[in-house]
Structure 1
């Protein structure tokens, strides 16, 4: 009888896993915003939108539009909006970062090649205490760059560059390698393996256990801790990019931005 019970549990458990993976997250449309943009970058806490058009960076509220343009640095590679008073624009081809204030005035320009110890930066983002996260491909290390003191310190051990995607917050640098393995590094240099992620076209990390990704215009919310995978039901059949912040899922299409209220499981 005991063996029978174990056998039944073995049969039931994977069935529940399959059901969990097929569950869906319902969303509620809350607003639509028309926008003329090549790339939508997201919103800040006040609802201001940020986007790129013709390699010009824009900020827009209900009444005003600000812009920043720097033709000498080439294409904008990545934008970090975590601190709207200190926006980070990364120009990878010129190994440079530009810091902007909340009206998109240039506060500081950093050329990592001119650092006393030259760096070749392939990933960067805002960190805490006047610092930037940087991945230096010369030494293959994650480090912190103090942009007030122009001082750099490596915090991680060396590892081969294999960064398919990266994202950071003030205390943690996340990256996914070419084999879809997810890692994190804290400000003390501790590297943690988070898990394996399914193949994706675009991904947004919510926290150290949860993320949303798209594949072939299908949106999936996944929770590694709960081992749950859920399809997000939206009406758009195709989209260029999505953005998640504070339970608002923004879908960027050729027609504009559709914002949904979403409650993650």
Structure 2
């Protein structure tokens, strides 16, 4: 088969979860961000964030901030847009209007940040490059709390929700909770990207995709793409894979 596609011509059963191919939609984008709880799609094209769906069509751009490093849509009413080039976070409303900016360069205590995602309650999960530590930062009172011990190795990816944060380095993949407890730590084995849903992880390694759960002793290999997936987004009910040309949607049926 020449199509870049999971070999999901059948339903794949993994630890009681059924993954079934649903749609394949053409998408021209620099990167795919995800689908929010209202079924709006978010993607970046030419350094501009786009939102398309039932709520309408909206865009946000601030080219002077540089390239968009990441966008966190877990709360579609307060989207977290991060620009690593300028060490800045922009918070957006549901129409992609800027409602607040956090410039880590101008804080009373400078923080050199490589990732920033939503932790809820006016907080962000951030990775401090200078200390090599994961931190929770409250942008309302400009206070940070260290969550982790320093990491060895370069941070490759971060994925989070309000309760948990997963970080991938060259050596390890770790999951922390919002109280600072290390929930799991596993060898990365060459992983390149990850997507988190609760405490379940999907990780990529070249053209391979693996599922890591709290109870699995080893990563579970899922049916393979013909080449490396470009972007992942995981929710409780759906898995989205962007291959650079098409967005593939898979439904997830969890065991009762």
Greater fraction helix: 1
Cα distance between partner residues in 2 of 1:95 and 1:241: 23
In the superposition, relative to structure 1, how do residues 157 and 196 fare at CA in structure 2: closer, same or farther (>3 Å)? closer
Q: How does 1:1-265 map to 2 (within 5 A)?
A: 25=14, 27-62=19-54, 64-149=56-141, 151-156=142-147, 158-160=149-151, 162=153, 163-179=155-171, 181-208=172-199, 210-227=200-217, 229-233=219-223, 237-238=226-227, 239-263=229-253
What TM-score comes out, normalization by structure 2 length? 0.82
C-alpha contact (below 8 Å) 1:131/1:146 kept by paired residues: yes
Question: Alignment length, in residue pairs?
Answer: 239
Structure 1 residue ranges (4+ consecutive) displaced by more than 4 angstroms after TM superposition: 23-26
Unmatched 5+ residue regions in structure 2? 1-11
Q: 2:177, 2:204 → 1: CA distance?
A: 26
Q: 5+ residue gaps in structure 1? A: 1-22
SS at match of 2:105: helix
Tell me the TM-score normalized by structure 1. 0.79
Q: How far off its partner does 1:24 sit? A: 5.9
Structure 1 or 2, whichever has the larger Rg, is: 1
Across the aligned residues of Structure 1 and Structure 2, the Cα RMSD in angstroms comes to 2.5
Distance in 1 separating the partners of 2:176 and 2:213: 19
Q: What displacement does 1:87 show?
A: 0.4
